[in-house]
Structure 1
Amino acid sequence: MLPDVYHTIALTKIRRIRKFNGESNLAVKVGQKVNATEKIADIFPETKYQTINVKKLLNFNNSQDARRAIEIESGSKIKAGEIIAQTSGIFAKTIKAQQDSEVLLINGSMVLLKQLQSPRSLIAGFESYVSEIMPDYGVILETNGVLVQCAWGNQKSDSGLLIHLEQEADIEITAKMIDVSHRGMVIMGNHCQHSSVFKAAKDFNVRGLIFSSMNPDLIAPALDMEIPIVVVDSFTPVSMNMRAYDLLKSNAKREVSLSAIYDPNHNEKAEIIIPLPAEAMPPQESYQFSEGLIVRVNEGLFQGKAGIIKRIVNNSVTLFNGVRAICAIIQFSDDEQASIPLANLDALE
């Protein structure tokens, strides 16, 4: 079996496709430099229509009464919540528009609406160059630099100067660590336990947050934040894996892009990207489990911890829950060793 790969690389070529997923108006050209929040294209969602049977919904006995209850006109535009039709009396029933729409047709008691949808901006997500435009499909962006792929992100993107808050690798990040000197910066910290960190980041106009781990209760408020937030390793309290920690700490005070777009269904990972003025080769996208491979544990007692495969046990081992699995002996940075099923490991390369 092959592990899921999370790249943690000091210098590599980063090449990403931004797909249109609908009709689009392109806003860039080949060779153009774009920043993390720059718009690549306006994407127009697929047109949706809605048919409303006023007679049926309002329980009229005939179409004539239903037609007289309709309060809109063909060709007009209506707002979400606006009344389309209603009955009279104390206990009047109403039909309201679900969203902004255009009234295409009224035929008897039937109303046909075209839903009005605003275009969605397709964002670059990281500082890069437009290397190729594929009509009706997407745009290819490229850059060279540091790449750290993360376990989770809150679907936002931005960039700023990378700042490392604490001196020790295992200190929890708190709101008191953030002040006005961090305005416009991307903050790197370890475990985040409290939402007060989000409030401090908002109050001082921080551009992004990087955590080693985060309290899972904070997922919902993190998704509501306007700035990108990435979790490098886990949703249990762990220090950042030393490979990512050393790499990010050594690049502190450089411009960093956070592309916190997370979509496991399409193997799209949240990413930390630090552009560097050097040419590099693209990373290897697949690895075999082997001795010396750097891995991270997904679940269980060692969740979020990274280590090196010392040996793969070729015979299946019976686990405490009765399941038999092929395991590897993992050496962690604190000299502790453990036998972990291969299915519970990601590759960090």
Structure 2
Amino acid sequence: MLPVTHVLPLATVRRERSLPSPGTVTARVNEKVQAGDVLAQAEPPARHYLLDLARGLGLPEKEALRHLRRQPGERVDSGDVLAGPVGLARRTLRAPAAGQIINVQDGRILFQAHGEVVSLKAEYAGVVVATDGVQSVTLEATAALVQAVWGNGRQDHGVLRVTGNGPSERLRTDDLDINLRGAVLVAGVCVHTAPLHQATELSCRGLILGGLASDLIPVVRRLPYPVLIVEGFGDVAMNAAAYSLLSTNAGREASLDGRVGGLYNSQRPEVIIPLPATRQVSVPDEIIPPNPGVRVRVVHAPYHGAVGVIREVLHKAVGYPSGILARSARVDLEGIGTTNVPLANLEILQ
């Protein structure tokens, strides 16, 4: 079966949100939530430190104990002074994190650091349809859905805005002004770092691109906002279907999830745009046979990014100029015409 990428103007989107460890779920089944609402919280396991009091102050064990300023059970913040200052150098021993002293013995302090509470947010407006009560919550919404091929691992939400002059245009700093502050941006291609840093200064909540220069990957991974690449790396225009869907929904709230699934997780980076529920719509299909009439997209050169419809799946392997023999489909590509494309170079576009 061919991989399936969803570019849907209207669908029932159902996603499970999970805490990294068990905690407390505050959301209830059938509850309507907004993108910024907290669904659940968990406190990670405490970390412990063994601090050498005598060495830290440069004093004998018994003398060092006299300079202890905090007692067991007393809560402190990161950087608070636990002991000292002493001597001309005013040496001190400070808390390595927020927490408390558990015990003091043999000139050493057993310190327990409290982990920060992890909050699980909805990330998109929807209805809670299921929960296990301790770790996971399933949300459902009627929404537009655009799946990407790569993301930088971040999540956020904001109002969708289109910048630049089309799906193949390169993003420039001149395209970014104060009117885009706090928005989720849709653009064509990015090949320079300057627009990325400009978007950071504008506190943008996300960036959706058709293509990205591969040498910018390390920069994009460090950005504070999610970046989603719809097509791939290089000077690749966003396909017309995705660009049109995103442009049509400019001004609406969009949720960006830039996380990429691992070996046992098929999660795709995606854009979810909640819409008013005017009628019942189905959940997208995850398995679609490559039958005649099915819409597909080419994912490799020479027709990378082209969209078309399968005319027929050829029974015999087809030879190509590279010398490769491959199972292929005859595809009517928009703006190109009818041609043979290896099945390995196709994905189904729903």
TM beyond 0.5: yes
Alpha-carbon contact 2:254-2:272 (below 8 Å) kept: yes
1:328-343 correspondence runs (5 A)? 328-335=329-336, 337-342=339-344
Task: Report the equivalent of 2:6.
Answer: 7
Task: Report the equivalent of 2:117.
Answer: 119
Alpha-carbon contact 1:43-1:120 (below 8 Å) kept: yes
Task: Report the equivalent of 2:151.
Answer: 153
Relative to structure 1, is the Cα distance of residues 309 and 179 closer, same or farther in structure 2, using a 3 angstrom cutoff? same
C-alpha distance in 2 between matches for 1:326 and 1:81: 64
- Find the partner of 1:141 among 139, 142, 149: 139
Task: Report the equivalent of 1:262.
Answer: 259
C-alpha distance in 2 between matches for 1:178 and 1:194: 14
Alpha-carbon contact 1:36-1:159 (below 8 Å) kept: no
C-alpha distance in 1 between matches for 2:317 and 2:97: 57
Relative to structure 1, is the Cα distance of residues 300 and 202 closer, same or farther in structure 2, using a 3 angstrom cutoff? same
Relative to structure 1, is the Cα distance of residues 316 and 113 closer, same or farther in structure 2, using a 3 angstrom cutoff? farther
Task: Report the equivalent of 2:89.
Answer: none
Relative to structure 1, is the Cα distance of residues 135 and 334 closer, same or farther in structure 2, using a 3 angstrom cutoff? same
Task: Report the equivalent of 1:61.
Answer: none
Q: Does 1:177 align with 2:175?
A: yes
Provide the secondary structure at the position in 2 that maps to 1:264.
coil
Q: Does 1:209 align with 2:211?
A: no
C-alpha distance in 1 between matches for 2:10 and 2:288: 18
Per-residue CA shift, 1:189-216, capped at 9, x if unaligned?
Answer: 1111122222332333433322111122
Relative to structure 1, is the Cα distance of residues 297 and 218 closer, same or farther in structure 2, using a 3 angstrom cutoff? same
Per-residue CA shift, 1:222-256, capped at 9, x if unaligned?
Answer: 3333333221111121111122122222x243413
TM-score, with length taken from structure 1: 0.77
Which residue identity lines up with residue 270 of structure 1 in the other structure? P
C-alpha distance in 1 between matches for 2:139 and 2:320: 45
Q: Percent identity of the aligned residues?
A: 23
Return 5+ residue gaps in structure 2 as ranges.
84-92
Provide the secondary structure at the position in 1 that maps to 2:192.
coil
Alpha-carbon contact 1:153-1:229 (below 8 Å) kept: yes
> How far did residue 102 of structure 1 move?
4.2
Q: CA RMSD in A?
A: 4.0
Task: Report the equivalent of 2:198.
Answer: 200
Task: Report the equivalent of 2:33.
Answer: 34
> How far did residue 188 of structure 1 move?
1.4
1:58-77 correspondence runs (5 A)? 75=73
Which residue identity lines up with residue 192 of structure 1 in the other structure? C
C-alpha distance in 1 between matches for 2:293 and 2:188: 26
Alpha-carbon contact 1:165-1:177 (below 8 Å) kept: yes
Provide the secondary structure at the position in 2 that maps to 1:212.
strand
Per-residue CA shift, 1:45-96, capped at 9, x if unaligned?
Answer: 2x15557597xxx9xxxxxx999989897556677689999xxxxxxxxx99
1:319-334 correspondence runs (5 A)? 325-334=326-335
Task: Report the equivalent of 2:23.
Answer: 24
C-alpha distance in 1 between matches for 2:335 and 2:111: 64
> How far did residue 322 of structure 1 move?
7.5
Equivalent pairs counted in the alignment come to 337
Relative to structure 1, is the Cα distance of residues 320 and 104 closer, same or farther in structure 2, using a 3 angstrom cutoff? farther
The farther-off stretch of 16-25 and 305-314 is 305-314
Task: Report the equivalent of 1:276.
Answer: 276
C-alpha distance in 1 between matches for 2:101 and 2:13: 47
Task: Report the equivalent of 1:295.
Answer: 296
Task: Report the equivalent of 1:221.
Answer: 219
Relative to structure 1, is the Cα distance of residues 29 and 167 closer, same or farther in structure 2, using a 3 angstrom cutoff? same
Relative to structure 1, is the Cα distance of residues 26 and 136 closer, same or farther in structure 2, using a 3 angstrom cutoff? closer
Alpha-carbon contact 2:51-2:110 (below 8 Å) kept: no
Provide the secondary structure at the position in 2 that maps to 1:209.
strand
Which residue identity lines up with residue 255 of structure 2 in the other structure? L
TM-score, with length taken from structure 2: 0.77
Relative to structure 1, is the Cα distance of residues 107 and 173 closer, same or farther in structure 2, using a 3 angstrom cutoff? same
Relative to structure 1, is the Cα distance of residues 51 and 322 closer, same or farther in structure 2, using a 3 angstrom cutoff? farther
